[in-house]
Amino acid sequence: MLFNSIDFAIFLPIVFILYWFGANKNLKLQNLLIVVSSYVFYGWWDWRFLSLIMFSTIVDYFVGLGLSKQENKGKRKILLWTSILVNLGFLGFFKYYNFFLDNFITAFSFFGTKINANSLNIILPVGISFYTFQTLSYTIDIYKRKFVPTKDFIAFSAFVSFFPQLVAGPIERATHLLPQFYKKRTFEYSKAVDGLRQILWGLFKKIVIADNAAEIANQIFNNSSDYSGSTLVLGALFFTFQIYGDFSGYSDIAIGTARLFGFDIMRNFAFPYFSRDIAEFWRRWHISLSTWFRDYLYIPLGGSRGKVWMKVRNIFIIFIVSGFWHGANWTFIVWGALNAIYFLPLMLLNKNRINTDIIAQGKYLPTIKEFISMSITFGLTVLAWVFFRAENIGHAWSYLSEIFSKSLFSIPHFAGMRHAMITLILITIFCIIEWIGRENQFAIEKLGLNISKPVRWAFYYGIVIVIFTFMGPQQQFIYFQF
């Protein structure tokens, strides 16, 4: 079920009413309702793949219990690897099987050996990369004795399948989300209103910014050989806002929806395009995934300790794996490696933690230095997104070579210029609102809270009108494919 669909607009109030009026006196019943509604939410897309979530839930539940009872180191390791192999096995098969097969065939044919093997027609189950990482965090934390496993199977199932963040995150940690299923939830008015406000902003980002930008970015990227360098820059810019609006919009709706049910889930985006360096960007972009890799891959590898080559190796590993997590294509790997290259000088010069505060905190405008740093970081990010969006490495290269040609200085032109201009105006307004609200959890969190209700409501109605007036053609969330 898509968040930006009428199906969800009907589904959400029904579950909300049942949750607070039908099941509010019984915690188990509330959790069970979450499990059932999450399965309905997921099954709306394809019910057959529910079996994967259920299987993963059962395996990790029993592995967790087994780990808590087992003191023998070897046996504990076996249990942990069972969970890792099952989860990553599913992920590997559904997401990477064809990629590895095709690359093996290419590699062998390079050495003169011809292999006859056919790719399989595999459907990638929506959200598999997200919920497998979430359940993995559970077993790894229990293995490290950071967390006591639950005996409550329903609470655990609800944790794995919690519908607001099931298909595209934020990737929650068991230590943070699971305990919330043990406690009785009481309805908090301010939290629910806050949640609604965040949902509204998320819908604006997705429907107005991402969907409109997507139409233009798709047109330019899909026919890139026909366009000048300046038009291709526009295409990359639109994709930059498409992916941000799409993914952070999804996260906002997820967090807001969770708040309606009394849950707090982690922040996933913190105004990343206002970052002053790449290190700051990565602290602000897809936070739940970056911290997951930091805690479960980077730190176990040694992190930033050790010799220089170790640091370099670890940085490359984490960025390349992170790129590969996004999809089975070399473009994602190069995107990851490019970010590692961006990041490396900062880390080697020990300057990766200089921008930990909010840019221009308490001020209206950034300093010139801050503005330049922000613009450079933004430019580097746009450049990297070309690899992320391109069909293959060749496409990315030809796209970039055209950008860095003479045609960069021509006037951009393509069939959808009028639409592009309107979308650019919308993006500018969006950036201004985001800038104003950058010290909050999300841009409109506190916007207008100190003004009278009619004015505030008029502002919300204004957003609704803009959503309906400028809604782009409905597009699936990009991160559904990851």
Partner 1 sequence: MIIKFFKQIILFVALGLVGYIGFYYLLDKLYNSKSATDTIFIWGDSQAYRGINLKRMNELTGKEIYTAAQLGAGVYDFLVFTQSVPKNSEVIISLSKPTQLRRKEVDRNKSGISLKALILLYQNNYSFSEIREIIEKNLMPLRLFESNSTLYPDLDTLVLTESLSLFEKIYSKKPNYLDHKQKLYIKGIQNLKSKNCNITFIEFPYHAILTGIEKNSAVRSHTENFKREVANLFTNYKSDTINLNSPEMVMYDLTHLNQSGATKLTEELVSKMENSLITTMYIASNGKQ
Query: What is the rounded CA–CA span in Å between residue 173 and residue 288?
Result: 9
Q: Is 209 helix (H, G, I), strand (E, B) or coil?
A: helix
- Of 353, 367, 461, 462, the residue at the interface with partner 1 (CB under 8 A) is 461
Minimum CB distance to partner 1 smaller for 106 or for 474 = 474
Of 188-196, 272-280, 348-356, 359-367: span binding partner 1 (CB under 8 A): 188-196
Report in angstroms how near the CB of residue 473 gets to partner 1 at its nearest. 11
Nearer to partner 1, 104 or 457 (CB): 457
End-to-end CA distance of the chain, in Å?
16
Q: Which of 62, 296, 460, 480 binds partner 1 (CB under 8 A)?
A: 460
Q: Of 404, 422, 464, 481, which one interacts with partner 1 (CB under 8 A)?
A: 464
Give ∠ CA 82-86-325 in degrees, rounded to 5.
120
Please list, in sequence order, all residues whose beta carbon lies within 8 angstroms of the beta carbon of residue 169, skipping any fewer than 6 positions away.
130, 250, 251, 254, 268, 286, 288, 289, 479
Task: Point out which span in 143-151, 202-210, 230-238, 454-462 binds partner 1 (CB under 8 A).
Answer: 454-462
Q: Number of residues in contact with partner 1, rule: CB under 8 A? A: 16
Question: Please, which residue, 20 or 96, has the CB nearer to partner 1?
Answer: 20
Q: How far is the CB of 274 from partner 1 (least distance, A)?
A: 31
Q: Is 188 in the site for partner 1 (CB under 8 A)?
A: yes
20 touches partner 1 by CB under 8 A: yes
Tell me: does residue 457 bind partner 1 (CB under 8 A).
Answer: yes
* Cα–Cα distance list, 252 to 284, 442, 460 (Å): 14, 8, 16
Subset of 429-448 contacting partner 1 (CB under 8 A): none
Nearer to partner 1, 196 or 382 (CB): 196
110, 189, 309, 364: residue in contact with partner 1 (rule CB under 8 A): 189
391 binds partner 1 (CB under 8 A): no
CA–CA gap between residue 47 and residue 37 (Å, rounded): 13
**Could you say whether residue 459 binds partner 1 (CB under 8 A)?**
no
**CB under 8 Å to 302, separation ≥6 — which residues?**
310, 314
Does residue 326 have an active-site annotation? yes
**Cβ(455)–Cβ(448) under 8 Å?**
yes
User: In angstroms, rounded to a whole number, what is the distance separating the alpha carbons of residues 38 and 19?
Assistant: 13
Site for partner 1 contains 451 (CB under 8 A): no
Nearest distance in Å: CB 276, partner 1: 39
CA distance 330 to 364: 41
**Among 60, 275, 87, 239, CA closest to 153:** 60
Task: Kindly state whether residue 452 participates in binding partner 1, applying the rule CB under 8 A.
Answer: no
Q: In this structure, are residues 138 and 147 in contact, taking their beta carbons and an 8 Å threshold?
A: yes
Active site residues: 326
List residues binding partner 1 (CB under 8 A): 6, 20-21, 187-189, 192-193, 196, 457, 460-461, 464, 468-469, 471
